Structure 1
Amino acid sequence: MALLGILLVAAAAAFIGLLIAYNLDGGPDYTVTLFGNDVVTISTLGAFLSGVALTLILAFGVWLLRRGTAPGHGRHR
C-alpha cells in the first residue's frame, strides 16, 4: 500500500510540475501544452476542476503512503 501511495504522489507531483513548467506564459486561452504538444484546450471551470482532481489524487496518495508506513501496520493481536 505504501508503494502505491509513493507512486501516486510521485505521478501527481510530476504531472503538476510539468503543467506549471510548460504553461508559465499564461494568456487568455487555456491550452495545456506538454513537451511541445497541445494536449487540450479547457475553460476556466475545467482548469479549476482539474486542479481539484489533481489535489484529491495527491491527497489520496499521501493518505495511502501514511497508512502503509504507520507503526503497527499489518500486525494483528
Structure 2
Amino acid sequence: MNPNTRKQLFTWTIASLTLGLAPFAPEPHIVGKIRWVAGGAIGMTGMDWFDLVFHGFPWVFLAFFIGKAGLEMMQASKA
C-alpha cells in the first residue's frame, strides 16, 4: 500500500472515531441524526442538516480511502 494512502487512511480513521462519533454519550450524534432522517426528517432545520454533514463527512472520506487502499492492494497483487 502506498505510504501516502496509509497515512490518509489513518487520519480519516481517527477523524471518524473522534469527530464522526462526538459527542459519545448518550449516543453518537451521527446515529441520532441518521435515525431522524430515517424517520422522515420531520422538524429538521438547516442547522440539523449541517450537523449531519459535519459529523458524516469523516465517514465518507474513510470509505473512499478504504476503497482506494483496496484497489491499490488488488493492483499490487496482479503485478
- TM-score (structure 1 length as normaliser): 0.53
Q: Which residue of 1 aligns with 2:7?
A: 7
Structure with the largest fraction of helix = 2
- List alignment gaps of at least 5 residues for structure 1: 27-41
Question: Secondary structure of the equivalent of 2:54?
Answer: helix
- TM-score (structure 2 length as normaliser): 0.52
> CA deviation digits over 1:26-54, x for unaligned, max 9?
7xxxxxxxxxxxxxxx9211121124422
Q: Which residue of 1 aligns with 2:29?
A: none
Structure with the largest fraction of strand = 1
Structure 1: which 4+ aligned runs deviate by more than 3 Å? none
C-alpha RMSD over aligned residues: 2.3
- List alignment gaps of at least 5 residues for structure 2: 27-45
Tell me how far apart the structure 2 counterparts of residues 4 and 59 of structure 1 sit (CA, whole Å). Answer: 16
